Amino acid sequence: MKRNLGLVLIVLIVGSFLFAGAQKEESSSSAQKHVAVIVKGTHSDFWQYVLVGASNYGIEHADKLRVTTHGPDNDTDIEGQLAILEDVISSRPSGIVIASTSSDAPVAAIERAIGLGIPVVVIDTKVSTDKITTFLATDNRYAGQLVADMLVDGLKKAGKPLSGKVGFISAYPGIASLIDRQEGFLEQMAKIAPDMTVLPIRYCGVDIAAGMGPIEDELTAHPDMVGFFGDCNIVGSSFARVVRERSIEGQIVAVSFDSDNEEIAALEDGIIHSIVVQDPYNMGYMGVDVVLRSLDGEKFPAYIDTGVVAVTKENMKDPEIQGLLNPLLRKK
């Protein structure tokens, strides 16, 4: 009887240790947060840079959280991104970082996530709700003004008069960040180069090869074009290809936005005078950081400016600029 009682006590003691260990493992697992990062389209270097920033944050804080990355192939796939957002919400992550393809389409889903206690940080493109944790983005109106300044700077350096036509190509209509960028550019051009004619905006989509068509059309219709603005890296790369094919290097002063390998090569070769560069790496990195800190109760302003820089052939080799042009090599 005493022997049996001893065995029972041993079993109870061992069982208590096993139970405590299981509790500790479960507690450790539940302590690790899950942040889902959703971008507009995985095909673009810009959005890849966002994902690198977010993933690097996750690697650096692997004891606290894991980061998963999501997005449709194409920036224009609103329904595809919305389906991804719904799936992510169903998985009940600790928080969400999203660069939305639409200002209005995801609002109901985002507000539902917030109602479930999931903080949502929006990056790049503003959405039509004030319930989010914060909005991390470039001041795109200022960025558009900076483009105008750089275009005029390039025209002066090329010895061209501040008159004549400026081509204006965008990826697609209806995106708040691009609209702000466009309006800032037009406002500043009217101030600093009122005798120049900015042509109506043409749209070329988000494929470099397909984007060459509208640019070809504009150059054919306006052979006297002296300036050009492409409001994203896809347009800048499309422009560079057209210029190389036509062998018209040096004839048009061009300013573009963001960066990819073709744009950087065009900048180095003088095909593009300057590019105005955002900080997509920082959007991803800061987005995850804000989610994690908000889960600890920290409050944030409604908007946080992530910065923008003008890059020219003269400053493109500076170390801090290199980190913006190629965030894949950047570390925090």
Residues 121 and 227 in one domain: no
Name the domain count of the chain.
Answer: 2
Enclosing domain of residue 189 = 140-277
Distance CA 129, CA 273 (A): 38
**The two structure tokens encoding residue 325:** 């042009």
Average pLDDT value for residue range 158-183? 91
pLDDT, position 104 = 93
Q: Are 251 and 284 found together in one domain?
A: no
Entry pTM: 0.80
Q: Does 29 fall in a domain? A: no
CA angle 245, 203, 326 (to 5 degrees): 65
Which residues sit opposite 167 in a β-bridge?
Answer: 228
Output the pLDDT for position 137: 95
What band does 172 get if pLDDT is binned at 50, 70 and 90? confident
Residue 164 and residue 263 in one domain: yes
Quote the pLDDT of residue 119: 98
146 and 273 fall within a common domain:
yes
Q: Tell me: do 107 and 187 sit in the same domain.
A: no
Q: How high is the pLDDT of residue 222? A: 96
Q: What is the CATH number of the domain that holds 74?
A: 3.40.50.2300
Mean pLDDT of 105-126: 97
> The tokens 């903080």 sit on which residue?
119
Q: How far apart are CA 284 and CA 122, in angstroms?
A: 10
Number of C-beta neighbours around residue 194 at 10 A? 9
Average pLDDT over residues 155-182: 92
Classify residue 134 as exposed, middle or buried by CB count within 10 Å of its CB (0-12, 13-18, 19+). buried
pLDDT surpasses 50 at 48: yes
Asked if residue 16 belongs to a domain, the reply is: no
pLDDT at 332: 52
- Nearby residues of 33 by Cβ (< 8 Å), 6 or more positions away: 64, 65, 66, 94, 95, 291, 292, 295
Q: Is residue 33 a contact partner of residue 91, using CB atoms and an 8 Å limit?
A: no
Whether residues 98 and 178 fall in one domain = no
